[in-house]
Structure 1
Amino acid sequence: MSATTFAPTAFAPTAEAESAVDQRLFRDVMGHLPTGVAAVTGIETETGKPAGMIVGTFQSLSLAPALVTFSVDRSSTSWPRIRTSGRFSISVLAEHQTDVCRALSRKGDDKFAGVDWVPSPENAAPHFRGAAAWLDCETVQELDGGDHVIVVGRVLYMEAGSTEPLVFHRGRLGGYRAPAAA
């Protein structure tokens, strides 16, 4: 049996396809899918200051090699600051970390004021104490994703905590509860 090589194709939607979907309805429909909340952080090379943002698109991509992805809006002012070093950290926020989510979601330079973080042992990027998990990565590739950029990162180091994750669902932040054992 021979292996098939996957060759990605360029995404080029037609004007007709772009106008066929109501953006507000699309957002509402996709809001029915709960997503995890992750903080993407890094140290800006030029200033040495931490930079960060929140994403709801973080996921695993490959086990071998260990790769993850997330998407970032092309208008983001945080991602250009994070990407300067070629490395970033991801903290999977815990259900009690809505304050971290709100702090990193706001505009401005001092998103880390009053937020409890420690530097990553791998790349000095902020890790948030009490997170459900965190990973240190190096950027492998950035791909076109329409009005977003899809970032692919290779995992260099990771740890998991024992808390439940913060979840975003239908416009609200909340926690996840595993069903009781039968």
Structure 2
Amino acid sequence: MLTSTIDQAHYRSVMGHLPTGVVALSGITAGAEYPCGLVVGTFQSLSLDPPLVSFSVAHTSTSWPKVRAAGRLCASVLAAGQEPVCRTLSGKQPNKFADLDWSLSEAGSPRITGAHAFIDCDITHELDGGDHVIVIARVLQMDTGHGEPLVFHKGRLRSIRELTAA
């Protein structure tokens, strides 16, 4: 059996060189007072036929079980300038949406106003991924929004323009 000898700090440092999109996942559980949400940097296209996306969430997330319970979610690809939205949805406050500008998508999930793109999905599968759960979701509808995407690179939130100028 192969045992990992990779230092976690070094792993994070090396993997941090790969820019990732910043995506807000949000849902509304039946009977809830307000929406729930979290941010991931692992959102990706998985399949064209059927249209599927995937993302990963830490097993320690307290927000994911609330979004999962909704069964449906909206993935709002955050735009440059939406760093405050990212920080709010990454926090631990009970009502993360109290000070956010959002609306309901046609599929009934919270959509972050001003996002770069929107993807409404039904959650279909969860798979073990070490200290994360890998989630597969079927795309119901999608559209582009505004601006340039927000990216996470080398431990910092940046616009794509800042990344290419660096």
The reply to whether TM is greater than 0.5 is yes
Residue 49 of structure 1 aligns to a residue whose secondary structure is: coil
* Higher radius of gyration, 1 or 2: 1
Distance in 1, matches of 2:99 and 2:36, equals 14
Residue 113 of structure 1, CA deviation: 2.0
Q: Distance in 1 between matches of 2:73 and 2:112?
A: 13
Matches within 5 A, 1:41-56: 41-56=26-41
Structure 2 residue matching 1:108: 3-state secondary structure: coil
Give the TM-score taking structure 1 as reference length. 0.85
SS of 2:3 mapped into structure 1: helix
Aligned-pair CA distance for 1:120: 1.3
Alignment deviations for residues 130-177 of structure 1 (CA, whole Å, 9 cap, x no partner): 100001100110001000000000000111023100000001001013
Q: Secondary structure at the match of 2:32?
A: coil
**Residue pairs, 1:1-182, within 5 angstroms:** 14=1, 16-18=2-4, 20-122=5-107, 124-177=108-161
Which TM-score applies when normalising by structure 2?
Answer: 0.93
Q: Size of the alignment, in residue pairs? A: 163
- The one-letter code matched in structure 2 to 1:95 is A
What is the Cα deviation at residue 82 of structure 1? 0.6
In structure 1, how many angstroms separate the alpha carbons of the residues matched to 2:101 and 2:138?
Answer: 26
Aligned partners of 1:117 and 1:85: how far apart in 2?
A: 17
Deviations 1:42-85 (A, max 9, x none): 00224252000000000000011110001000011101001112
Paired-residue identity, %: 54
Instruction: Please give the per-residue CA displacement for 1:16-63, whole angstroms capped at 9, x wherever unaligned.
Output: 523x11111101110000000000000022425200000000000001
AA partner of residue 128 (structure 2): D
CA distance in 2, matches of 1:173, 1:80: 26
- For structure 1, list consecutive stretches of 5 or more residues without a partner in the other structure: 1-13
Distance 1:29 1:84, change over 3 A: same
Q: Which runs of 5+ in 2 are unaligned?
A: none
Contact 2:79 2:146 in 1 (8 A): no
Cα distance in structure 1, aligned partners of 2:158 and 2:67: 27
Residues 1:62 and 1:118: Cα distance change in structure 2 (over 3 Å): same
RMSD, matched Cα: 1.5
